[in-house]
Amino acid sequence: MGTAVSFQNVRKTFGALCAIDDISLEIEEGEFFGLLGPNGAGKTTLISCLAGLARADSGDISVMGFDVVRDYRETRRRLGVVPQELVFDPFFTVRETLRIQSGYFGVRKNDAWINELLENLDLSQKADVNLRSLSGGMKRRVLIAQALVHKPQVIVLDEPTAGVDVELRQILWQFIRRLNREGHTVILTTHYLEEAESLCERIAMLNHGRIVALDTTRNLLSENANRMLSMRLKNGNLLPETLRGRAVLDKGAWVFRLNTLEDIEPLLAAVRESAQVFEELQLVQTDLEDVFVRVMHANEGSGEGNPKRGLE
């Protein structure tokens, strides 16, 4: 398996604003990759540079080994982008839209695949309806179908589920998972972190145009901050000196981050030895949202200590 998409030292500024600040990133063929970050982090800009909608100020971007500026025909053929904005061409029906889009990519006689797309996205009923008269959710489905009409090797979805109903989310993920199993590389940005957690094998977190975390989802969850032990001590009881540096005080409870469950025993032993008494003891499972908040928080450089390093 080779590299599907590669960003090397990519920078993009808008006037004084640095939207992408020296990003280097490689996404493997067949990967399901997540691009997370708060609003304004630079996710859409990064995708725009990849898709040729924007031109990076410096750095190299390639798709399947082709440079997005020099070999733009090769790269665009291999990319299918679902844009963040709900845009549509009001002149055409769903089927016309998909046929026209096929034509742009030089794919002719594409009706079998178009029908499959319509079926999989539950759009068959609307095939001959004008885009203007479709609901927002339906328009979103058409955008997804448009992005897939030329069977791109790399599928890029920029917040495809923002503001769409649960039904569509399920339909969409079922279909995208299938395409991923069949070998398509998927790059996803989303605000729904549980979506990213369940779908993405690897995740990059962006903030202010920089990558602030990049790892497999599993590692982000386990090594970084998978479990936390929260202990509240009886009034007046103090945490032993030896443990002080390893915990963060959160609303009166001491919170320890654990690498493995085996880390618990020494902690409990230390508390017992110092003859302190627990009032409450809780094992907290961290989800991606916690990781996200923590990473972003640490990246802002505020707060007492870097929680990521709590146990180091």
Partner 1 sequence: MSGFRALLHKEILRFWKVGFQTVAAPVLTSLLYLLIFSSVLDTQTRINGVRYMSFMIPGLIMMSVLQNAFANSSSSLIQSKVTGSVIFVLLPPIGYVEFFTAYMTAAALRGVMVGIGVFIVTCGFSPLEFAAPAWILVFFVVGGALMGAFGIVAGIWADKFDQLAGFQNFLVMPLTMLSGVFYSIHSLPLFWQKVSHFNPVFYMIDGFRYGFFGVSDAAPELSLAVGLASLFVVASIALLMLRSGYKLRV
Ligand X SMILES: Nc1ncnc2c1ncn2[C@@H]1O[C@H](COP(=O)(O)OP(=O)(O)O)[C@@H](O)[C@H]1O
From the list 58, 100, 48, 110, the residue with the least C-alpha distance to 79 is 48
The token duo for 176 is 């995208």
Query: Which range in 38-46, 131-139, 170-178, 300-308 contacts Mg ion by CB under 5 A?
Result: 38-46
From the list 58, 53, 66, the residue with the least C-alpha distance to 6 is 66
49 belongs to the binding site for ligand X (CB under 6 A): no
Task: Give the one entry of partner 1, Mg ion, ligand X, none that residue 305 binds, where binding means its C-beta sits below a cut-off of 5 to 8 angstroms depending on kind.
Answer: none
Residue 290 neighbours by CB under 8 Å, 6+ apart: 225
15 belongs to the binding site for partner 1 (CB under 8 A): no
249 belongs to the binding site for partner 1 (CB under 8 A): no
Task: Give the one entry of Mg ion, ligand X, partner 1, none that residue 17 binds, where binding means its C-beta sits below a cut-off of 5 to 8 angstroms depending on kind.
Answer: ligand X
How many residues touch ligand X under the rule CB under 6 A: the total is: 11
Q: Parallel, antiparallel, or unpaired: how do β-strands 32-36 and 185-189 relate?
A: parallel
146 belongs to the binding site for partner 1 (CB under 8 A): yes
161 belongs to the binding site for Mg ion (CB under 5 A): no
> Distances in Å between the alpha carbon of 270 and those of 113, 263, 266?
64, 12, 6
Query: Which range in 57-65, 86-94, 229-237, 259-267 contacts partner 1 by CB under 8 A?
Result: 86-94
52 belongs to the binding site for ligand X (CB under 6 A): no
Residue identified by tokens 């009166």 is: 252
Interface positions, 160-199, toward partner 1 (CB under 8 A): none
| Helix, strand and coil in the chain, % to nearest 5 | 40, 30, 30
Task: Give the one entry of partner 1, ligand X, Mg ion, none that residue 37 binds, where binding means its C-beta sits below a cut-off of 5 to 8 angstroms depending on kind.
Answer: ligand X
From the list 186, 171, 156, 162, the residue with the least C-alpha distance to 121 is 171
CB nearer partner 1, residue 84 or residue 222: 84
Which residue in 23, 32, 43, 295 binds ligand X (CB under 6 A)? Answer: 43
Backbone angles phi, psi at 10, to 5 degrees: -85, 130
CB nearer ligand X, residue 37 or residue 310: 37
Number of separate helices (H) and strands (E) present in the chain: 11, 14
What's CA 78's distance to the chain center, in Å?
20
Smallest gap from residue 296 Cβ to ligand X (A)? 12
Interface positions, 96-125, toward partner 1 (CB under 8 A): 96, 100-106, 108
- Under the rule (CB under 8 A), what is the footprint of partner 1? 14, 48, 51-55, 72-74, 76-77, 79, 81, 83, 85, 87-92, 96, 100-106, 108, 146
